[in-house]
Amino acid sequence: MSLVCQVDANSERAALLRRTDAFIWDEASMANGRDVAAVSRLLQDLMGSAEPFGSKLFIFAGDYRQIAPVLPGAGLGDGRAAEIELENDPVKVISLPNIPVCTSMADLINFVYPADILSQPDQCAKRAILCGTNAGAAQINSGIVEGFPGEATTLHSVDRVKEMEAEFGADPGFLAQFYAPGVPDSELTLKVGCGLVNGARLIVTAISPLLIHCRKPGTQEVILLSRVPFTFRVGRGGMEVVRRQFPIRVAYAITVNKSQGQTLDKAGIDLRADVFQHGQLYVALGRVRTRDDLMVLVREHRVDADSQMAYAHNL
C-alpha cells in the first residue's frame, strides 16, 4: 500500500514547497519509511522531476544507531518496509573482531552468570543475556531458573474473553496459549532469589498466590506486586482477551530492545538467529564498557576456521 500526501498542486502550500531550497527532517530515524517515500513522490509530482524528492535537498537528522520504532501487530516484512534505507541497501554481513565468541549456550550462561555470581542476586542484576525476541529470552530464562537452587512456584494467570457472556466463555486453557507484546505469559515460574524485570530490575524475596515480595538491587526496600489486568487482541480483528497476571518476567535474559539505554557489567548476546531490526546489533554490542565484558553466541558455521573470527548479519 502506498501513502499519498494530499496537497493540491495549485495551492499556496504547493507553491511554498516549490520555493523551498532545503528541507530538514528531524528524528528521521524514528519515521516510517513509507512516510518518507510519500513525501518524495509528492515533491516529484510538484517539481515535475523523477529524481528523489524532486531534486530538492533533504537533510535527515537523527540517531541511526538506535532501534527503530515498534509497529504494533507488524510482521518482519512490515518492519523492514518501514525502515529508512539507502536505495537498494543490501543486508550486510560484518565481522566481530576481538570479541569473545562461543558456540554453546552453556558457555554463554557460564560467562555471564558463573556459579559464584548466580548465587548473588544483586550481582546478577548488573548482567544480562540479550536476545532478539521474547521467545528466545523466555527459553533461556526457563533453563536458568530450572538450575537455580530452591523450589519453583508456578503462578497461573486468570484469562477471560472481554465482554463475553459466561455461558459462552472460552476455555481458560485455550486462552492461556496466547501471548502479546507487553503482556506477561500465562505461566510465571519463579524461585526466591530470581531476578525480575518490569522496566526496573527486582529480586524476589517471597512468593504467595496473591503477592510477590521483591526488593530493589542494592537496597532492602520491599516492593509488593499484585496481579493486574492486561487486555490484548488475538490476531488482527480477533477476540479481546483480558489476562490478570503479575506484571513481571524473569530477567536473566532480556530482549535487545529492553536493554537499550542500560549499562551492564557483563553481557552475552545470542546471535544464533540474525537481528531483524535496524539498530539492534549496535545496541546489543554497546551495553558494556569494554569488549572483555562481552561474549557473543553464534552458530558454528559463522566462525571462520582459520581466524576464529565470527560473523553476523547487520541491518
In whole angstroms, give the CA distance from residue 72 to residue 232: 11
In whole angstroms, give the CA distance from residue 217 to residue 221: 9
Q: How confident is the model at residue 84 (pLDDT cuts 50, 70, 90)?
A: low
CA 310 to chain centre: 23
Mean pLDDT of 228-240: 83
Distances (CA, A) of 151 to 3, 58, 147, 148, 211: 55, 60, 10, 9, 17
Residue 76 has pLDDT above 60, yes or no: no
Distances (CA, A) of 120 to 116, 193, 227: 7, 8, 27
- Beta-strand pair 195-198/200-207: antiparallel
**pLDDT of amino acid 264:** 95
Per residue in 153-179, pLDDT (tens digit) is 999 998 888 876 444 556 667 788 787
Q: Which of 46, 38, 37 is closest to 16 using CA atoms? A: 46
* Contact in structure between 253 and 129 (CB atoms under 8 Å): yes
More confident residue, 118 or 180: 118
**pLDDT of amino acid 167:** 44
Q: How confident is the model at residue 73 (pLDDT cuts 50, 70, 90)?
A: low
Which residue matches cell numbers 510519500?
A: 38
The percentage of residues in the chain with a pLDDT greater than 90, rounded to a whole number, is: 36
The backbone torsions φ and ψ at residue 15, rounded to the nearest 5 degrees and listed phi first, read -65, -40
* Contact in structure between 313 and 92 (CB atoms under 8 Å): yes
Angle 250-256-261 from CA coordinates, rounded to 5°: 100
In whole angstroms, give the CA distance from residue 314 to residue 218: 36
- Beta-strand pair 101-102/294-297: parallel
pTM above 0.75, yes or no: no
Task: Give the helix, strand, coil percentages of the chain, each rounded to 5.
Answer: 30, 25, 45
Beta bridge partners of 313: 93
Residue 1 has pLDDT above 50, yes or no: no
Residue 281 has pLDDT above 90, yes or no: no
Residue 282 has pLDDT above 50, yes or no: yes
Residue 124 has pLDDT above 80, yes or no: yes
Per residue in 184-221, pLDDT (tens digit) is 888 888 888 887 665 678 899 999 989 999 998 888 88
Neighbours of 94 (CB within 10 A): 11
The backbone torsions φ and ψ at residue 290, rounded to the nearest 5 degrees and listed phi first, read -135, 160
In whole angstroms, give the CA distance from residue 151 to residue 67: 38
Q: How confident is the model at residue 63 (pLDDT cuts 50, 70, 90)?
A: low
Residue 127 has pLDDT above 90, yes or no: yes
